[in-house]
Amino acid sequence: MPVPVFHDRVAAVRSFNRFFTRQIGVLREGLLHSEFTLTEMRVLYELAHHGDQPSSTLCRDLGLDRGYLSRIIAKFESAGLVSKVPSPTDGRAKLLHLTEHGRAIYEPLDRRSREEVGDLLSRFGESDQLRMLDAMRTIRDLLDAESGMKYAQPFVLRAHRPGDMAWITRRHGDIYEANQGWDRSFETLVGQICADFERDFDPALEHCWIAEMHGQPVGSIALARSGEEGVAKLRLLLVEEQARGYGLGSRLVDECHRYARAAGYHKMRLWTTDQQQEARHIYQNKGYVLTAEEPVHAFGKDMVNETWELEL
């Protein structure tokens, strides 16, 4: 390639970087009109959405210098935003933990960030929004492949749209038939849950997320009203086989909890069975407590229906 042409392309990338950082407001002294820098907000984001973790993991995932992260954490500890707690698997190790005060500070900023991006997207019609998201996905895929690195979380989350409920219904039926030997009455049940959700959908109190990898749906979860004031239902958690091992199930549950808190719920409730071990493991790790059990014969199998709850 001629050197002048390559230099023009370098200049074009730098120009785009300047344009985009201005568009999303990261050049302001305090991100989202807050006291925090972009890096500090990203550290808070990781702890809020991905739970307690060692500082070494944050350094690796964010590409931060250990000393730089240490100074950020010291600032957060002094402000009561972050504390260090013992690891449940290694008593000698400490994990970084976002305190209740830290979450109370972070969540309004996270909500403001979502609103700013929502305002940006709302300037465009549906087709242009999808074009923009496809272009972003292309950039990410190309950089990922070129660097030879695998993102720790190579998926994106989006709100559900027409056709997604049919996919959720079909994939629940297929996966549980193949992995658990359940009959298709389970797919019928999921289809009814999806139909009820869409028919009575209240966007102020309910939400459904679809996880995508390389433009294809690989997971889902929904937050639904329970009919009891202040109590939300976690429903339709699903992770495809090819998306496992990236923490997607945990991320979907965290996203559901974050939205529930912002919507004013104080308790989460869910239904599962004793046969859904991977999902039960996620719920237990998030602090859910088993509140009811009932032996049943359903979907062609003997099992135990379980109700789990979490105080938010």
> Mind listing the pLDDT tens digit for each residue in 217-259?
999 999 999 989 999 999 999 999 888 878 889 999 999 998 8
Query: What is the C-alpha to C-alpha distance for residues 21 and 37, in angstroms, rounded to an integer?
Result: 14
For residue 98, the domain's CATH number is 1.10.10.10
Domain presence at residue 174: yes
Domain presence at residue 45: yes
Q: What is the pLDDT of residue 31?
A: 55
- Ramachandran region, residue 245 (left: φ > 0; alpha: ψ -120 to 50; beta: rest): left
Q: What is the pLDDT of residues 140-176, one digit of tens each?
A: 777 765 544 444 457 888 889 999 999 999 999 999 9
Burial of 127 (0-12, 13-18, 19+ CB in 10 A): exposed
The ranges of the chain with pLDDT < 70 are 1, 3, 24-33, 89-91, 144-153
SS3 of residue 90 by DSSP: coil
Domain presence at residue 8: yes
If asked whether residues 20 and 94 sit together in one domain, one would say yes
Domain presence at residue 299: yes
Radius of gyration of the chain measured on its C-alpha atoms: 22
Which structural domain range is residue 86 located in? 3-105
The number of distinct structural domains making up the chain is: 2
Domain presence at residue 134: no
If asked whether residues 56 and 181 sit together in one domain, one would say no
